[in-house]
Chains A and B, each alone.
Chain A
Amino acid sequence: MQLPLGIEVPIPTFEQFVFIQVALLTAVAALAVVISRNLFHSALALTLTFFGVAGVYIFLEAEFLAVSQVLVYVGAIAMLIAFAIMLTRSMMFGRTSPLNNQWGKSSLFAILFFSALLAFARATPWPAAGEEVVADEALIGQLGREFVTTYVIAFEVLGLLLLVALVGAVMLARDR
């Protein structure tokens, strides 16, 4: 497509068009998490961000990861955050400022972190497009097999960690 000033604008394909929407949704929601004055709205925006990331996974033909993302992040983590906000009463109705007195230092580190990420992203030789990805049940089976063979120690340690957290929660909530 040719704009009047002679600037070449590539016409996005259908997939790119949808991807732009998903990416915009994710980015805007992530921004809303940071700048919202109401903590509960931040939590809701965070949920939306999780959905957007799931959408990006679908574009990468990783349906299993996308659905797990919704299950774990929306179903568990967003819920946990919402509960934590609701049970701390002072935060619930107050309009908190998105900035505190450490904004200068944290913005410096945010910029540093972003530039590091950018450098990594530019240095990584991304696999060229057109490589065929096998995405079906066989892949899920392979993932499961990797969990109990190659990564079995990490897997077991994670399970142990969850068990310890569970026991700790029971100890805290116990009637005395």
Chain B
Amino acid sequence: MQVTQWSEALSGWLMGLGLPGWAAIFLVYAVGSFILINYGMLSVLLLIWITRKAISRIQDRIGPNRVGKYGLLQTVADAAKLLSKEDITPYEADKIAYNLSPILAVFGVLMLLAVIPFAPGLTGVDLNVAALYVVALGSIGIMAALMAGWGSNNKYALLAGFRVVAQLLSYEIPLVLAILTVVLLTGSMRFGQIVEMQSLHVAGFNLGLGWLGIVMPGALIVFFVSSLAEAELTPFDLLEAESELIAGFHIEYSGMKFAMFFLAQFLNAWILGAVAVTLFLGGWQGPGVGLPVIGPILGLGYFMIKVYGVYVLQQWIRGTFPRIRIDQMMYFAWKVLVPLMIGLIVAQAIIQKLPTPVAIQYVLIFIANVGVMAVVAYVLQKYFREEQIRTKRSFEPTSLIGGMQVSEKGTMY
């Protein structure tokens, strides 16, 4: 199916009106980025409302219900409140780093919107290195956190900044490896083409259910878990544990600058969900997207339903999971997720070189995914059983053990 990009169609129409080529392209992209940026900013109002409502329901509360119908305008009221707050700059703060950091945080997230395919032919820009682009922009968020921590002239903010960098860098690796499996299978880093590949034609009709997440559930789960860590969501929100650390690296920020970090965080969760949908859950694919006129509209609908579904799932996890410790966080990234992904990639690379039809390869990749995950689950289960015994022993009072050999740290062997 050949899809014309909205930008080509629109610039062609403008050039037909007599505009010079560069002006038409400039105008089209200006309009496109205006729409995307404003969509991103405004959708955060909805996202925060969804979060509050979902978590309230999980915790047996009602949630915001005073401002507007179902409390829909609560976030608008909160934004107005934040706007009217005093903008405080800490004593001897590094002005440049302190003021630039919230801007960079939002910038790094909003730029991601440019490559997300919303519907057939409706992508900001169909970059040929989109998958790599998503990874590269993650580093801007890390830089922003580091600048905020350093610029605040506060040792707690600085320490939290280091923790943010440690977490984001660690979880970037399984994230990249999970993206790599998709690139390996589709042979393309272009998001448009990755979504195209996930169609499923039955008797000439596009069912749109050939999702890669079905073929490689292991990669999907790793991507989802590491995207939770990248978006600093529970169970990986120890960076800004409000009850313990106040707010981590943005402890010194107030008013609208704080709101910008807040906005970046919610939007990042949504966009990482959108990337997960694009890579693994078929993007805009769904039954009937191949139809002439109604197809793109259906595609946009499917995409939004999937992305908001993933977002609600993230909030569900946020409302139910306890927070993990920092050593557990590092352990999980480096000793569980990275070996799992490397195993998956090696298995997939071998399978894709086998002289078998593509359908059999898909089945083999699925089996390899399930197999690697089963091995990891078995090893983890053994580890946790041993860990449980170890902690129980270390809590036993040493005096009662008496003559038994006790090592200096309280564990006995």
List the interface of chain A (C-beta within 8 A of B).
13-15, 38, 40-41, 44, 47, 63-64, 67-68, 70-71, 74-76, 78-79, 82-83, 86, 135-137, 140
Quote the shortest CB–CB distance from A14 to chain B (angstroms).
4
Of the A-B pairs whose beta carbons lie under 8 Å apart in the complex, a sample of 6, sorted by A's number, is: A41-B94, A63-B129, A71-B132, A71-B139, A79-B143, A135-B128
Which A residues are in CB contact (< 8 Å) with B129?
63-64, 67, 140
Which A residues are in CB contact (< 8 Å) with B140?
74
In the complex formed, the residue of B with least CB distance to A36 is: B96
B150 and A40 form a contact (CB under 8 A): yes
B136 and A137 form a contact (CB under 8 A): no
Q: Which of B100, B138, B143, B162 has the most CB of A within 10 A?
A: B143
CA distance A67 to B131 in the complex (A): 10
Which A residues are in CB contact (< 8 Å) with B187?
137
Which B residues are in CB contact (< 8 Å) with A137?
128, 187-190
With A40-B94, A79-B146, A86-B158: A14-B133 Cβ-Cβ less than 8 Å? no
B128 and A82 form a contact (CB under 8 A): no
A71 and B189 form a contact (CB under 8 A): no
A74 and B139 form a contact (CB under 8 A): yes
In the complex formed, the residue of B with least CB distance to A62 is: B129
CA distance A44 to B143 in the complex (A): 9
Q: Which of B175-225 contact A (CB under 8 A)?
A: 187-190
Give chain B's interface secondary structure class: helix
**B117-143 contact mask (Cβ, 8 Å, vs A): 1 or 0:** 000000000011100110111111011
Which A residues are in CB contact (< 8 Å) with B188?
137
CA distance A27 to B361 in the complex (A): 51
Q: How many A-B residue pairs have CB under 8 A?
A: 69
How many positions in chain B have a CB within 8 Å of any CB in the partner chain?
31
B26 and A79 form a contact (CB under 8 A): no
CA distance A71 to B143 in the complex (A): 12
Q: B395 near A: Cβ within 8 Å? A: no
Q: Which of B133-181 contact A (CB under 8 A)?
A: 133, 135-140, 142-143, 146-147, 150, 158, 162, 165, 169, 172
With A86-B158, A137-B189, A140-B129: A70-B139 Cβ-Cβ less than 8 Å? yes
A14 and B189 form a contact (CB under 8 A): no
B96 and A74 form a contact (CB under 8 A): no
Which B residues are in CB contact (< 8 Å) with A64?
128-129, 132
CA distance A76 to B36 in the complex (A): 29
CA distance A74 to B107 in the complex (A): 15
Q: B22 near A: Cβ within 8 Å? A: yes
Quote the shortest CB–CB distance from B107 to chain A (angstroms).
11
Which A residues are in CB contact (< 8 Å) with B135?
71
B94 and A67 form a contact (CB under 8 A): no
CA distance A51 to B4 in the complex (A): 31
The 6 residue pairs across chains A and B that have the minimum distance between CB atoms: A75-B139, A71-B136, A70-B136, A14-B22, A67-B132, A67-B129
Quote the shortest CB–CB distance from A119 to chain B (angstroms).
35
Q: B370 near A: Cβ within 8 Å? A: no
CA distance A40 to B153 in the complex (A): 13
Q: B46 near A: Cβ within 8 Å? A: no
Q: B82 near A: Cβ within 8 Å? A: no
CA distance A64 to B169 in the complex (A): 21
CA distance A128 to B280 in the complex (A): 44
CA distance A74 to B226 in the complex (A): 21
In the complex formed, the residue of A with least CB distance to B176 is: A71
Q: B97 near A: Cβ within 8 Å? A: yes
Which A residues are in CB contact (< 8 Å) with B146?
79, 82
Q: Which of B100, B147, B172 has the most CB of A within 10 A?
A: B147
Quote the shortest CB–CB distance from A146 to chain B (angstroms).
17
Contact residue among A14, A44, A47, A140 (Cβ-Cβ distance under 8 Å from B96): A44
**Additional pairs, 10, CB under 8 Å, beyond known A47-B143, A63-B128:** A13-B22, A68-B132, A71-B139, A75-B172, A78-B143, A82-B146, A82-B150, A83-B165, A135-B128, A140-B189
